[in-house]
Chain A
Amino acid sequence: MGIVVTGVGIVSALGVGVERNLERICRGESGISATPTLLRTANRLPVGEIAVTNEQLHSMLSIPQSEHLSRTALLGILAVREAMAGADIDYTRRVGLVSSTSVGGMDLTEHFFESFIEDDSRGRLRDVRMHDCAASTDAIARHCGINGYRTTISTACSSAANAIIAGAKLLKHNIVDYVVVGGSDALSAFTLNGFKSLMILDGEPCRPFDSSRAGLNLGEGAGYLVLQREEEACSYYCHLSGYSNRNDAHHQTASSAEGNGAYQAMAQALQMAGVEPQSVDYINAHGTGTGNNDASESAAFIRLFGDNVPPFSSTKAFTGHTLAAAGGIEAVLSVLSIVRGCRYPNLNFTTPIAEYGLHPVTAFEQAKIDSVLTNSFGFGGNCSSLLFTR
């Protein structure tokens, strides 16, 4: 049974909506700012922050301020509404949701905790009500007319890719008729300090796949797709024809030098779709800009594609690394790569990594694109790849 994409929605530091995101990528404008302006932190580090407050997000979505939703939920609702508006959904049928997040309602919890650790009778409970991951899924379902099975996945930075895989399985098993899949993550001081403590944040704009890369820039956003069974869709953007979830099983936070997990995930996704490696027209890489990820992913590319690594790029220098949302945002960009016939530039690249000699795409290119592979890797060794085809 074929699975097709019938709706897409994005919000990222580039802006709200698919058109705004594409327009800025086409012009080569990054969404990364020199320091956070809304996030409460003393860290002066570049981030891909969405310049809209939570209050503004409630207003934009016509949700009463009294609902006091987490930023993760608000960003999710914004992207899901766009994705669902584009798909021709019959709401009398079963509409499911597989959402994903890594921070959940941490943006509110960290406010709560400041008061709570001084006195445990303090801190507003409404600030901690949305702490768990499923709270954002519930809010999205409630505000987007989702009436069917819903679940939440959290596998760190590969979360949304796994949500997409889970959604495809729900369609195949006839548990839902439409499924909204993807991820949302807000910036939080918790994650910014977490990645800083791991010493993998670059103080400059990130430079994926460049020999001088020195870490990632954190971002926030949401990316969702609507999936359907092919025979039931009147029109669609493209097929989700292959996917794979593998584990690198090398280290809790680092990727293996050989890129074992990444290699296996990409190879299995291609195998499932019956697509030969040389037929891949574009790879939207995980490409975080850390020394370890980009080396490991490059090694995996060479293992799978040999001397013919397809045109590839990381779009994280535009959006920042949006953690659980990354796989969703990049899946939407991969779908649009096929629909609009384009490859996205890998910003801030000048010199290839000596050991691999790989050159990513550095300018916005128009081309006929029939198949796009997209990678999402995360802590815990999670490596997932998706293959979209025309």
Chain B
Amino acid sequence: MRCYIDSVVTAQDVATDIKLLIPDAGLRRRMSRVIKSAVTTAVECVGGTEGIDALDAIITATGWGCLADSEKFLRNMIVEHEQLLNPTPFIQSTFNTVGGQIALLRHNHCYNVTYVNRSHSFEDALLDAMMRIADGESCNVLVGAFDEQTPSQHRIMERMGAFRTVADGEGAVFARLTAQRSEQSVAQVTAIDFLCQSLTVEQCRERYATRADATVVYNGYAKYGLFPTSAAYTFAEAVRLVQQGESEVVVYNEYFGAAPAVFRVQCIG
């Protein structure tokens, strides 16, 4: 399986004014922080809201979903004794809210799904995108991942003993994948795999590298912080490395106790 990457944008890369990315002021006001961050990243990735029209699949990934909204509704429910609750945080607590909002911005009816599989959520979304492209079901796919940090989540994970070696984190990354190579293509994904056993850097190279000068990004997620979709940042990193001249990057992530996942990003041609 192979697909081309036209653009990858992280939440930190978004430079455009949010008023241009999400023009509806009411919508912006209702959106929680993570929804706003993920949707703006997605819109920036496709080059503005009109870019949504060309998409034929919208695949999102999140380990925790819209935590702040879930927590807000839960808190209100307990404090208000189940009386007169505002439905907005409940509506927005749904895991597919971001995917739904992206479709809604331009009334795009295409395939739309959300993977919620802890640290594999992003790789699962990427696999789905690659299968759709391989099957000819889609040729212009938006794939993205997001997770948010909240004070409660931080406190609970701290009590569980997390953050001893890695700091807390959050973020959003979106990528546009295509079936056909074009002038916009910056790199290509040529492999994705899910493993049952750990590999060393050398084993990753032996098994997945096709070129002698390949770079291995090994457990790169750790530098982006402890959140389930941090692997999406290693995808952005691999694409950046290719844009900077690397010929091939093998990315291996074995997130705290989870089975490892691997993908390979290559230069074009």
Residues of A that sit less than 8 Å from B by CB? 41-43, 102, 109-110, 113-114, 116-117, 120-121, 125, 128-129, 132-134, 137, 149-156, 162, 166, 169, 172-173, 175, 189-190, 193-194, 196-198, 245-253, 260-261, 264, 378-382
Contact = CB atoms under 8 A, between A and B. Distances in A.
B163 interface: no
Interface string B91-118: 1111111011101101111111111111
A380 B113 contact: no
A245 B228 CA distance: 26
B128 interface: yes
Contact of B104 (A125, A173, A193, A251): A251
Contacts of B63: 132, 134
A116 B152 contact: yes
B159 A134 contact: no
Interface of B: 1, 58, 63-65, 70-71, 73-75, 77-79, 81-82, 85-87, 90-97, 99-101, 103-104, 106-118, 120-121, 124, 127-128, 131-132, 134-135, 152, 155-156, 159-160, 194, 228
A97 to B, nearest CB: 10
B94 A166 contact: no
Nearest to A200: B87
B52 to A, nearest CB: 10
A155 B91 contact: no
Contacts of B132: 169
A190 B82 CA distance: 9
Contacts of A249: 103-104, 106-109
7 contacts: A194-B73, A194-B85, A194-B91, A196-B82, A245-B111, A246-B111, A381-B112
Contacts of A380: 94, 96-97, 99-101, 103, 112, 114
Contact of B77 (A129, A169, A175, A190): A190
B232 to A, nearest CB: 16
Contact of A166 (B87, B128, B135): B128
Contacts of B100: 247, 252, 379-382
Contacts of A102: 94-95
Contacts of B65: 132-133, 154
A136 to B, nearest CB: 10
Contact of A149 (B1, B85, B115, B194): B194
Given A169-B132, A245-B112, 5 more contacts: A125-B159, A132-B228, A154-B94, A380-B114, A381-B104
B86 A154 contact: no
- Interchain residue pairs A-B with the least CB separation, the first 7: A380-B100, A194-B90, A154-B95, A197-B87, A133-B116, A380-B96, A134-B118
B91 to A, nearest CB: 5
A125 B160 contact: yes
Contacts of A175: 127
A162 B70 CA distance: 23
A251 B103 CA distance: 10
B96 A128 contact: no
A323 to B, nearest CB: 10
A125 B90 CA distance: 24
A42 B81 contact: yes
A102 B93 CA distance: 10
Contacts of B92: 252
Contacts of A133: 65, 95, 116-117
A287 B127 CA distance: 32
Given A155-B114, A193-B82, A382-B96, A247 B77 contact: no
B87 A247 contact: no
A41 B112 CA distance: 34
Contacts of A193: 73, 77, 82, 85, 90
Contact of A190 (B74, B101, B228): B74
Nearest to A381: B100
Given A134-B116, A172-B135, A197-B86, A151 B74 contact: no
Given A155-B114, A249-B109, A379 B73 contact: no
Contacts of A248: 109
A41 B82 contact: yes
Contacts of A264: 109
Given A113-B75, A117-B75, A120-B152, A379 B91 contact: yes
A266 B134 CA distance: 23
B97 A120 contact: no
Nearest to A135: B118
Contacts of B94: 102, 154, 156, 379-380
A152 B73 CA distance: 23
A121 B90 CA distance: 26
Contacts of A253: 91
A248 B73 CA distance: 26
Contacts of A117: 75, 78-79
Contacts of B81: 42
A256 B86 CA distance: 23
Contacts of A247: 58, 100, 103, 108-112
Contact of A121 (B86, B118, B121, B159): B159
B43 to A, nearest CB: 15
Contacts of B74: 109-110, 113, 190
**Residue in A169, A250, A251 with the greatest tally of chain B CB atoms within 10 Å:** A169
A120 B91 contact: no
A150 B124 CA distance: 9
